[in-house]
Amino acid sequence: MSAPATSPPVVARDRRRDLLGRQGRVGAVLLSLIVGTAAYGFFILPDDAGKARVGLPYERPSGANPLGTDDLGRDLLDQLLVGAGTSLTLAFIVAAVTTVLAAVIGGLAGIGPRWLSSIIMRGIDVMLVLPELVLFILAATFLGQSFGIRAAILAVILWPVPARVLRAAVLTTWSRAHVEAARAMGAGQSWLLARHASYLLGPLLVPVFVRTAMRVIIYDATLSFLGLGDPTVPSWGTTLYWVQVNGVFLSDAWLWWAGPPGVAITLTVVSLALIGTSIEDRLNPNLQESR
């Protein structure tokens, strides 16, 4: 009499079902609040929100202006809400483009001809040696400060690291026994990717997207703070730039002027880090096998 088939452990099933986990849920709730705030600033507030003068310069927080006003009498809360949309839109666009670039280039480096893989990897090695932030500053200085140019620069600079990770994942997947057996029977690379490798490589794209968005938030805020962003478009980094230009740190006005965008950047990065770490812990097949 054959032994009854055993089902996966309850803990393993619950772990697969619970994609985010406790820390991931905390990050998702936090990020949802931030995205909702950005959506409110983008869709609900008027077009001149954060740009129109609503009070006297350097007003303290009050009922009319909960975060006070800047040096021109503009409402800082409106700037914070509108700036959330600008910063998050840039982060998600760059993260999507970078993920696609990394998947395509990393995949070609993994399954392409040896000469192509060698060229791609030497190019990645060169880009990894160069400091990303310095490249970003130099490119923005010479190419311009518009939204599209900043997005393009960030996507070009940030793809090498995830591309190297995805190439290693492709090589690991290609060395598995069932993939080698299918390839020996004449299966094409496209079919192998769609049928056998997608479930191993696909989960890796989610943390790549999340972590890239996290880095874009930091880099764009840094660039704007240094005066290399677009000062006419409200964003969290632009607000910090005007704080630095006007010497607000020398007075107590920095508490309601520099504090909120700094907290917003920190909370966004923390929420993305929690989500990315939790998803990778549950979807990365290498981590699951090591456990």
What count of other Cβ atoms lies within 10 Å of the Cβ of residue 101? 17
pLDDT tens-digit series, residues 79-120:
999 989 989 999 999 999 999 999 888 888 877 788 888 898
Q: How confident is the model at residue 9 (pLDDT cuts 50, 70, 90)?
A: very low
Predicted confidence (pLDDT) at residue 53 exceeds the cutoff of 70 = yes
Report pTM: 0.83
Instruction: Please report whether residue 206 resides in a domain.
Output: yes
Over 90: is that where the pLDDT of 32 sits? yes
pLDDT at 203: 75
pLDDT of 199-220, one tens digit each? 667 778 888 899 899 999 998 8
In a domain, 219, yes or no: yes
The answer to whether residue 94 is domain-embedded is yes
For 143-178, the pLDDT digits (tens) are: 877 888 889 989 989 999 899 888 888 877 777 776
Lookup: tokens for 289: 């096998």
Q: Identify whether 228 is part of a domain.
A: yes
Cα separation, 28 vs 22, whole angstroms: 10
10 domain-assigned:
no
CA distance 73 to 58: 7
Q: Helices marked H in the chain — which ranges? A: 10-17, 21-39, 76-111, 114-129, 132-143, 147-158, 160-174, 177-184, 189-192, 198-225, 236-245, 254-257, 259-283, 285-290
- Highest mean pLDDT (candidates 148-152, 171-175, 186-190, 279-283): 148-152
Q: In CATH, what number is assigned to the domain containing residue 44? A: 1.10.3720.10
Count of the separate structural domains present in the chain = 1
Using alpha carbons, select from 205, 236, 233 the residue that is nearest to residue 101: 205
At residue 251, what are phi and psi to the nearest 5 degrees?
Answer: -130, 175
**Can you tell me the distance from the alpha carbon of 231 to that of 72, in angstroms, rounded to the nearest whole number?**
14
Does 15 have pLDDT greater than 60?
A: no
Q: Which residues, at least 6 apart from 163, have a Cβ–Cβ distance to it below 8 Å?
A: 101, 102, 105, 106, 109, 120, 124
Q: Which two tokens mark 67?
A: 């975060």
| Structural domain span for residue 97 | 21-290
Residues 161, 57: Cα–Cα separation, whole Å:
45
